[in-house]
């Protein structure tokens, strides 16, 4: 049976909702939806991340970031489970092994979902506006050494302080992030804490990522050891059908 549609209004009727709780370039953004624990195992709150991505498209584009603190999510068809880089020593994918990334968008305009089951200790997702991205580019062009690490050490705290950036994906729950031109948000992996000397013993909570295009075209390239666990061909087929219909309507 295909998933049943739901709307933002359906969630608002049952949950505590806060909008505009984040500021970016002086504009209010963000939508925070606190689902009562008693509803966690009831549809639509127990749906897959792809159901949230698809049913809340309009809200994601409007608010830029839609957050469901603490909400557990079925990891069905995640595109990668990103842990600390040293936990991915087997991989050649820099998305898994690098401590820092350039700010980017994932397969725009399709949004991305991130889910954490527990707090992250060493890494987070840095989100910046167009203004924050320009500051990043200026920093890279002007610095003489240090590469990505030094640029992050300078730009991440500066962006949080001046309101051009956020740090997300540190606490449990589901986050839906816009990748379209609607809000012009860019994101990157950043390190928020120094790992202990015995880094191979220090594990970080996996950050599960979901992106429809990634699911259909390069799921096995993103994490070569993700295996077949949590795969559901029916759910994948629904994602494919949704994107096909979205392409026809667009």
Dist CA 182 CA 200 (whole Å): 40
CATH number of 8-249: 3.60.130
What is the pLDDT tens value at each position of the chain, 250 positions in all? Answer: 356 889 999 999 999 999 998 989 989 999 999 999 999 999 999 999 999 999 999 999 999 999 999 999 988 999 999 999 999 888 888 888 899 999 999 999 999 999 999 999 999 999 999 999 999 999 999 988 888 999 999 999 999 999 999 999 999 999 999 999 999 999 999 999 988 887 667 899 999 999 999 999 988 888 888 778 889 999 999 999 999 998 766 5
The H-assigned helical ranges of the chain are 8-12, 49-55, 57-63, 94-97, 130-142, 147-162, 212-217, 219-222, 233-249
Q: What's the pTM?
A: 0.93
Dist CA 214 CA 121 (whole Å): 26
* 195 and 83 Cβ atoms separated by less than 8 Å: no
Helix and strand counts by DSSP (H, E) for the chain: 9, 10
Query: What residue segments make up the domains of the chain, in order of their start?
Result: 8-249
């Amino acid at each position: 049976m295909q998933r049943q549609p739901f709307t933002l209004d359906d969630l608002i009727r049952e949950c505590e909702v806060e909008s505009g709780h984040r500021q970016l370039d002086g504009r209010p953004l963000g939508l925070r939806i606190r689902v009562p624990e008693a509803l966690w195992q009831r549809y639509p709150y127990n749906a897959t991340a792809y159901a949230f991505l698809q049913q809340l498209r309009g809200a994601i584009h409007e608010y830029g970031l839609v957050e469901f603190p603490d909400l557990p999510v079925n990891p069905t068809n995640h595109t990668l489970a990103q842990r600390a880089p040293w936990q991915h020593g087997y991989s050649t994918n820099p998305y898994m092994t690098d401590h820092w990334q350039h700010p980017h968008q994932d397969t725009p305009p399709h949004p991305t979902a991130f889910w954490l089951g527990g707090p992250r200790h060493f890494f987070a997702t840095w989100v910046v506006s167009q203004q924050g991205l320009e500051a990043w580019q200026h920093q890279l062009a002007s610095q003489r050494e240090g590469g990505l690490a030094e640029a992050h050490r300078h730009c991440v705290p500066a962006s949080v302080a001046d309101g051009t950036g956020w740090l997300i994906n540190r606490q449990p729950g589901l986050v839906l992030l816009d990748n379209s031109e609607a809000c012009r948000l860019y994101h990157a992996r950043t390190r928020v804490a120094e790992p202990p000397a015995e880094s191979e013993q220090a594990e970080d909570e996996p950050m599960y990522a979901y992106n429809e295009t990634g699911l259909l075209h390069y799921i096995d390239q993103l994490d070569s050891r993700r295996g077949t666990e949590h795969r559901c061909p029916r759910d994948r087929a629904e994602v494919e059908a949704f994107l096909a219909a979205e392409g026809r309507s667009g």
